[in-house]
Structure 1
Amino acid sequence: MTRTVEATRTVELHGHRGARGLLPENTLPGFAHALDLGVDAVELDVGLSADGVVVLGHDQVLSPVTLTDTGPAHPGDPAFPYVGKAVRDLTLAQLRTLDAGVRRPGDAFAVTQRAVPGTPIPTLAEVCALVAPSGADLAVELKTDPSWPDAEVARFVAAVADVLHGAGLAARSRLLAFDWRVLARTPASWAGSRSPNARPSSPAARGSRDTPPATPSPRRSPRARPPCRPSTRSPPPASWTTPTPPGCPSPCGR
């Protein structure tokens, strides 16, 4: 007698920077749209403001591609204009004046993105409040720099962990980084806060990367997803390459 065992694999659908191809990246409208589409997780990028608030943004230096100055946070602010300044050098009040809802004309994503003028840079806490009722996971990438001292990286990691714990989303979150110090400084309490079937966020807690969870996550039932629609766009020419984002050393688009 032969018994056939079927292995079931689940592919997670992530909303990269929310719904980057459709709405402004790393914004509340973008995340809301990704959730409406039925993603399993939303991926986002965060930085730390000068006054210690975790805010969203892919670039450590405010990019003119995704952000536009609207005015100073207070009359005569010597730091204005803010575009081109480092996130870590500006306060939340200063960052809030920027319009994150209109991409620079001529950029590749501006062709497919629907502009949402007047959209501010959100905080991680605001994103947590939006995502919490949905049951979706969070994939939070911490943007750091090799030149930063260890103490600054540790402060950043602690601030992110505090927001996720405070929102009750630690068990549905994972921390991402290209800086090993972020993983090394993830609080020891993080692993204990996660549900048994959640994916650990640090190498120590994760163990072998080839070891799958014992059982599928029971957090939520599968959501119906809209069928894929054939693309109506013309195929790119053979010589087409992915445009390199400003400040990125390679055309990774991460």
Structure 2
Amino acid sequence: MHFTGGAVELHGHRGARGLRPENTLAGFKYALELGVDAIEFDVGITADGVVVLNHDQALSPVTLADTAPVRPGDPLFPYVGKAVRDLTLEQVKTLEAGVRRPSDDDDPFVLTQLPLPGTALPTLAETCALLSGCGVVLAVELKTDPGWSDADVERFTAAVAEVLDEFGLTGRSRLLAFDWRVLTAAQRHAPAAGRVGLVEPRTLVPGSPWLAGEPPDDPAGSALKIGATALSPERRLATPELVDQAQTLALPVVVWTVNEPEEMSRFVDYGVDAIVTDYPDRLRAVLARRGLPLPEPMTAPLPG
């Protein structure tokens, strides 16, 4: 999946996290109605091998709440706080995912996100069914870490690739990962998909276990060597120099997560290829003021 030359792609982060519940079908529908080039979302794998959407490997009390156990006396209940891969799909589907809760951090999304009670976490298959009828790019972040075995990374990547292939979406999908072993596995299981190397300050340290053995001092060169087709730095790392280095190597640059209009405009000046934001409406306004192309809003009814 190639980037659009001459334009800045607009990527809705976890759908439109600032406006609707994250990693949910309702959030994706709203992002499409606003108009985005790509929907970014996170996936994990359940104990029974189903790929589901959720940001953290452990179920967070900020975005999720328990409702009831799947059966009385379930020893794993409550499920919030447990790892996704320790629970079955049936258990995950009991969770309330439509109401964000205040946290200890200064969380702006509690104030700007519209609650949608009764919302469940979707499977990747359900997400693909929703997005298959439009031309939006699927930016699928696989949530693993260096503590996972190579075999588990391989199995998870293969499971994601199988679902994308089932829906004919591999060619307009990009697989994203901080754990760069995912990128090498993606070359085997989804060669037609894009491969995006994510980096942030904690992964770019000497001896980093995140980069599949590649050195952290040259993120662009290391990403290219590992087989990435794009580099995605956290916004504090996205300097003009890094953007130039990556693009010189023909690696598009996707900067994340940018929510303030002034900063969005600065990254447009840097010449990045895509901006990931929790507020697609704000980025649309910035791009419009600068006379840049905008993705078309989705007006046709979406399934479900």
| TM-score interval (norm. to shorter) | 0.7 to 0.9
Which consecutive residues of structure 1, in runs of 5 or more, have no partner in the other structure? 1-7, 214-224, 230-254
CA distance in 2, matches of 1:189, 1:143: 17
Deviation at 1:200, TM superposition (A): 5.4
Deviation at 1:212, TM superposition (A): 6.9
Aligned equivalent of 1:252 = none
CA distance in 2, matches of 1:147, 1:189: 21
Aligned equivalent of 1:177 = 177
Contact kept, 8 Å, 1:158 with 1:187, in 2: the verdict is: no
Aligned equivalent of 2:38 = 41
Contact kept, 8 Å, 2:102 with 2:110, in 1: the verdict is: yes
Aligned equivalent of 2:90 = 93
Aligned equivalent of 1:163 = 163
Could you tell me the TM-score, scaled by structure 2's length? 0.63
Contact kept, 8 Å, 2:16 with 2:28, in 1: the verdict is: yes
Select which of 23, 26, 32 maps to 1:26. 23
CA distance in 1, matches of 2:195, 2:54: 24
Aligned equivalent of 2:62 = 65
Aligned equivalent of 1:211 = 250
SS for the counterpart of 1:228 is helix
SS for the counterpart of 1:133 is coil
Of all paired residues, the percent bearing the same amino acid is 62
Deviations 1:8-35 (A, max 9, x none): 6110001100010000000000000011
SS for the counterpart of 1:185 is helix
Aligned equivalent of 1:228 = 285
Aligned equivalent of 1:51 = 48
CA distance in 1, matches of 2:58, 2:195: 30
Deviation at 1:148, TM superposition (A): 1.1
Letter in 2 for 1:181: R
Contact kept, 8 Å, 2:176 with 2:195, in 1: the verdict is: no
Aligned equivalent of 1:134 = 134
Deviations 1:172-219 (A, max 9, x none): 00100000110111143522x45xxxx556843749863279xxxxxx
Q: Which has the higher contact order (CA 8 A, sep 6+)?
A: 2
Which structure's CA Rg is the greater one? 1
Deviation at 1:76, TM superposition (A): 1.2
Deviation at 1:149, TM superposition (A): 0.9
Aligned equivalent of 1:115 = 115
2:77 aligned with 1:80: yes
Q: 1:25 to 1:189 in 2, by over 3 A?
A: closer
Deviation at 1:146, TM superposition (A): 1.1
What's the Cα RMSD here?
A: 2.3
Letter in 2 for 1:72: P
SS for the counterpart of 1:13 is strand
More helix by share: 2
Q: 1:112 to 1:150 in 2, by over 3 A?
A: same
Could you tell me the TM-score, scaled by structure 1's length? 0.75
Q: 1:151 to 1:75 in 2, by over 3 A?
A: same
Letter in 2 for 1:168: G
SS for the counterpart of 2:9 is coil
More strand by share: 2
CA distance in 2, matches of 1:105, 1:204: 40
CA distance in 1, matches of 2:184, 2:285: 40
